[in-house]
Amino acid sequence: MDYSFTDEQMMLRDTIARFMETEATREVIEEIEKANEFPHALVDKLSELGFMGINVPEEYGGQAGTVIDEMILFEQIAKRLPVLAWAAGNVILYGNNIINTNGNQEQKEKFLPLLVEGKLKFCFALTEANVGSDAAQLQTKAELKDGRYVINGAKMFITGAGIADYVVTNARTGGPGMDGITAFLVPGSAAGYSASPINNLGHKGSNTCAVTYQDVEAGPEDILGGPEQINQGWRQMMRLLNSERLVLSSCAIGIAQAALDYALAYAKERVQFGRPIGRFQAIQNKLVNMATEVEAARRLAYYAGWMEVNHMPCVKETSMAKLYSAEVAKRCAMDCVQILWGYGYAMEYDAQRFLRDSLVYSIGGGTSEIQMNIIAKQMGL
């Protein structure tokens, strides 16, 4: 079995790594953290270099890449600046993937070229204050009145909701449960739509917001996939879960790798009792465990990606990858803090940022507990 990278994929990895080293300097990262502002300039540069079209068909100006290409891109971005991975994800996952997978021809022609060119930003609005893991119970409603849908309700923890040109809004148009949900493409400028930023612990600059809809109007043409896709929102979401889990896995792996690299470099330089602390077995054991877990997470995730690309059933494997990668990122970040001693607790060092940024991966995109439930179901339990 061979699921190694192609020459083109290795070139992609090296290119985005160089881009991040050059553009996401320590000064840039610190400014984004301090200002807590969306990284517009870096997103624009990614678009200029064609990275935003990585998974868009060539006929719309993209590169026609696979989810493996997406994972390579996101791992390298998150290794340096995780919030930029989330910002890019709003285009690549919640713009490109959603429109290319579920949009009708008119929507593909309208949105995909502009997404590739960096002229549009999307975000995905599903979670609500009382609707997280049990997403099928969402309460935001879209009622048909005089040929138009009127949306009322609220969403919570929606990344990029304050800067998005379009918000993929999941609302109830039918009965209770998953069969009554429809996805609407709501302009961020729509009357009655508002977004208020939330100050998160990590991923500073993500523009994560609480969103309200007050008599927001949408036409049948604004339904994702067109009018015939009324009440099909849940099924549309299910088509995207594997790729979402894989991309989030690669982001978590990027953070874990960054924590490992940072701790390893420190262990080679920090001297105690007359020698570098990396010469002590206790520190060595932590670093070896970190390295082993990062490698195991990477192999699991990219194997699951290989299965997805080859159209093999892989719900269990993508959930395993998401679960394991998220937990590895937290453990590696915590060990990095411990290895750095008091410096790991200081805001001037990156260890604390790795820890803060790692925590969300066991929450967003399906909690670790939900991934366990999915895996158990796939095991016949």
End-to-end CA distance of the chain: 29
Pairing label, strands 122-125, 166-172: parallel
For residues 248 and 245, give the distance between their C-alpha atoms in angstroms, rounded to a whole number: 5
Dump pLDDT digits (tens) for 158-214.
999 999 999 999 999 999 999 999 999 999 999 999 999 999 999 999 999 999 999
How much is the pLDDT for 348?
Answer: 95
Domain borders along the chain are 7-120, 123-231, 240-378
The 3-state DSSP class for residue 297 equals helix
Query: Hunting for tokens 């026609």 — which residue is that?
Result: 64
Residue numbers annotated as active site: 244
For residues 147 and 145, give the distance between their C-alpha atoms in angstroms, rounded to a whole number: 5
Please state, for a pLDDT cut of 90, what percent of the chain lies above it.
99
Q: How many helices (H) and strands (E) does the chain have?
A: 13, 9
Predicted confidence (pLDDT) at residue 235 exceeds the cutoff of 90: yes
CB of 244 closer than 8 Å to CB of 90: no
Predicted confidence (pLDDT) at residue 1 exceeds the cutoff of 80: no
The 3-state DSSP class for residue 125 equals strand
Please state, for a pLDDT cut of 70, what percent of the chain lies above it.
100
For residues 325 and 316, give the distance between their C-alpha atoms in angstroms, rounded to a whole number: 14
Dump pLDDT digits (tens) for 213-230.
999 999 999 999 999 999
How much is the pLDDT for 54?
Answer: 98
Predicted confidence (pLDDT) at residue 3 exceeds the cutoff of 80: no
Predicted confidence (pLDDT) at residue 283 exceeds the cutoff of 80: yes
Residues 6+ positions from 318 with CB-CB distance below 8 Å: 241, 242, 245, 246, 249, 304, 308
Provide the CATH topology of domain 123-231. Butyryl-CoA Dehydrogenase, subunit A; domain 2 (2.40.110)
If you count them, how many residues does the chain have? Answer: 381
CATH number for region 7-120: 1.10.540.10
CATH class label, 240-378: mainly alpha
Residue 252 banded pLDDT, cuts 50, 70, 90? very high
129 phi and psi angles, rounded to 5 deg: -55, -40
